[in-house]
């Protein structure tokens, strides 16, 4: 039995400026969902990092092209592009991080630890949750991808160490637009041993990607997240299948250490010495 409080906050939708206008000529929702399915190339790719609209490329690549892996930093006026696998489904480029068939290690404190249902039984600095590279070096974000698009009703964030740093939640439309659905104070108070922060909202579109923004510098210590549930309008909770983050402690070699999970969560867990930490 998990021992933590459940905190709930209801908020209205806040759209980011400069987003899609919903005007005539835009792809319909079913067409966008079919384009996403096609861009996966029969399940070949997963973890969508970026989606770019480049309608002019249809003349060169027709309606579909799987270009494979590319490391291109600028393209068609877009900058700071991530390396990944490029698939064109007119009029969008989809840039994927992973080949689905390639085995992926479950690194300690890696973002992949935030996929699937919660599996960290206690509060504390435990390797079965995602942790950023540094405790307070910068603000962080965690991007979650789910198997299929759904109309979302809420997001539930399972915070297992130094909670209270969640300040913003966005979801992505199927045309790639990032939409802010919540911004404010984490429903789980700072100082709680752990928490289950739920934010609810209403949107009129499907999504399969959620991004959490973490004000890491405002809440001292590693702000660790075990899982993120995406709840649809039918009441079903979906768990992420892939995750990507601004940084991860796994980059520092933390994955090579074993950590003993305490049988009873301590009321005030002390930080564990980490490799490379001064």
Class of domain 5-15+106-255: mainly beta
Radius of gyration of the chain (CA): 19
Beta-strand pair 166-172/237-239: unpaired
User: How do residues 40-85 score in pLDDT, each as one tens digit?
Assistant: 999 999 999 999 999 999 999 999 999 999 999 999 999 999 999 9
Residue 195 has pLDDT above 90, yes or no: yes
Q: How confident is the model at residue 28 (pLDDT cuts 50, 70, 90)?
A: confident
What are the percentages of helix, strand and coil residues in the chain, rounded to 5? 10, 35, 50
Residue 197 has pLDDT above 90, yes or no: yes
pLDDT for 238: 98
Residue 14 has pLDDT above 80, yes or no: no
In the chain, where are the structural domains located? 5-15+106-255, 45-98
- According to DSSP, the residues that pair with 228 across neighbouring strands are 157
pLDDT, averaged across the chain: 87
Nearest to 53 by CA among 91, 8, 84: 91
Q: How confident is the model at residue 27 (pLDDT cuts 50, 70, 90)?
A: confident
pLDDT for 265: 39
């Amino acid at each position: 039995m998990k021992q933590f409080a459940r905190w709930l906050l209801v908020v209205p939708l806040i759209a980011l400026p400069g987003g899609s206008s919903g005007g005539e000529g835009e792809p319909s929702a079913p067409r966008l969902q079919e384009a996403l399915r096609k861009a996966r190339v029969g399940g070949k790719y997963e973890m969508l990092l970026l989606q770019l609209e480049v309608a002019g490329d249809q003349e060169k690549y027709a309606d579909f092209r799987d270009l494979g892996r590319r490391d291109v930093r600028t393209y068609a006026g877009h900058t700071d592009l991530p390396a990944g696998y490029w698939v064109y489904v007119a009029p969008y480029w989809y840039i994927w991080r992973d080949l689905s068939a390639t085995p992926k290690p479950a690194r300690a404190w890696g973002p992949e630890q935030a996929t699937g249902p919660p599996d960290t039984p206690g509060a504390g600095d435990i390797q079965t949750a995602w942790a950023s590279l540094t405790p307070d070096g910068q603000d962080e974000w965690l991007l979650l991808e789910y198997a299929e698009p759904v109309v979302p009703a809420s997001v539930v964030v399972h915070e297992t160490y130094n909670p209270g740093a969640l300040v913003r939640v966005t979801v992505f439309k199927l045309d790639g637009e990032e939409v802010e659905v919540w911004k404010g104070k984490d429903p789980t108070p700072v100082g709680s041993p752990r928490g289950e922060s739920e934010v609810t909202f209403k949107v009129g579109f499907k999504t399969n990607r959620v991004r959490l923004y973490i004000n890491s510098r405002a809440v001292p210590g590693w702000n660790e997240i075990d899982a993120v549930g995406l709840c649809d309008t039918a009441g079903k909770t979906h768990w992420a299948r892939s995750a990507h983050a601004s940084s991860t402690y796994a980059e520092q070699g933390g994955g090579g250490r074993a950590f003993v999970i305490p049988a009873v969560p301590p009321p005030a867990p002390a930080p564990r010495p980490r490799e490379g930490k001064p």
